[in-house]
Amino acid sequence: MTAEIANGWMPTLFIPAKAREVWGRALNQGAAKRDPRLGPLQITAGGLLAIGEGDSATAIRESLRPSVALYLGGMGAKGKNFYNNLAIRYGFEVEARMNQDLYLAGRKDEAAAVVPARLLELTSLCGPNSYVTKRIAAFKEARATCQSDRQRSHCHRMKSDRLVVHTRTAVSLRVLE
């Protein structure tokens, strides 16, 4: 329905390489019914942005574990958690189910520990400049029209006209052209 009536869509835990497989059918069905006066659906996607090398970028990406554990394990009852179901559709079935069991049992630290590192990597923009540039291209290829980044102040600054990492935690939107 979003692609049919909304101006835009801001998915959480968006993996560009899986977008067509997971969201394509619903987006295409909505777009087929979309009033042309609305213009194309704006898809604003992204994740934590940290430009840096080695352990610093990895550590920042790893800081997402508790919040992703909350989404996968605590945002709904067992069998009724949209984000858990999404992780399963992304191919992380065992980890998603284990996360939810642990989270609902009150074992939040253990739930965070089983969040797949690959899921954190694929839903964020953390790494060297060249890696982040490739990730942005993947978002664009997945029909994202605008990039939404949560930025951290303790990452390296990227010297580029395409991205700027602010000195405080911030959210920025950038049109992908």
pLDDT at 55: 84
Q: Identify whether the C-beta of residue 61 lies closer than 8 Å to the C-beta of residue 54.
A: no
Residue 150 has pLDDT above 70, yes or no: no
Amino acid at 165: V
Name the residue ranges covered by the structural domains of the chain: 1-27+37-64+124-177, 68-122
Residue 85 has pLDDT above 80, yes or no: yes
Q: Identify whether the C-beta of residue 70 lies closer than 8 Å to the C-beta of residue 86.
A: no
pLDDT, tens only, 50-81:
888 878 888 889 999 999 999 999 998 888 99
pLDDT at 18: 95
- How is residue 166 written in tokens? 């602010």
Other CB atoms within a 10 A radius of the CB of residue 142 amount to 18
